[in-house]
Amino acid sequence: MARMTTTVRHKSDPRELPSYSLAEAAHYLCIPVSTLRSWVVGRHYFLTKDKRRFFEPLIHPSQSSPYTLLSFVNLVEIHILNAIRRQHKISLNKK
């Protein structure tokens, strides 16, 4: 009888395990939850009542269903992104 296997990225590396909620990660990294959510989930915003835009997430969470959980590697990515943004004054806006 043939065995079916599924490959899950985070099972081979404990740093990739989904472990942190958005609120926990925001607290640990001293980042507003709303900022972190927009980086992980993306965001809709309105230019006018007829035009709506969406920006893609910058961080891909370790688990997104049934609820978003971040891994240790995600926290490192977020920390680096925040440092680039604040210390080097680099805007994330696409112009």
> Looking at the DSSP assignment, which residues form a beta bridge with residue 54?
44
Write down the pLDDT at residue 8.
44
Write down the pLDDT at residue 89.
80
For residues 76 and 58, the model is more confident at 76
Task: Read off the pLDDT of residues 42-54 as tens digits, 9 standing for 90 and up.
Answer: 876 766 677 777 7
Taking the CA atoms of residue 33, residue 36, residue 41 and residue 46 in that order, the dihedral angle to the nearest 10 degrees is 80
Write down the pLDDT at residue 46.
64
67-87 residues labelled b (16+ CB within 10 A) or e (exposed): ebbbbbebbebbeebbeeeee
How many residues in total does the chain contain? 95
Task: Read off the pLDDT of residues 5-46 as tens digits, 9 standing for 90 and up.
Answer: 333 444 678 889 998 999 999 999 999 999 999 899 887 676
Is 85's pLDDT higher than 70?
Answer: yes
> Cα separation of 41 and 35, whole Å?
10
For residue 40, count other CB atoms closer than 10 A to its CB.
19
Tokens found for residue 60: 């891909």
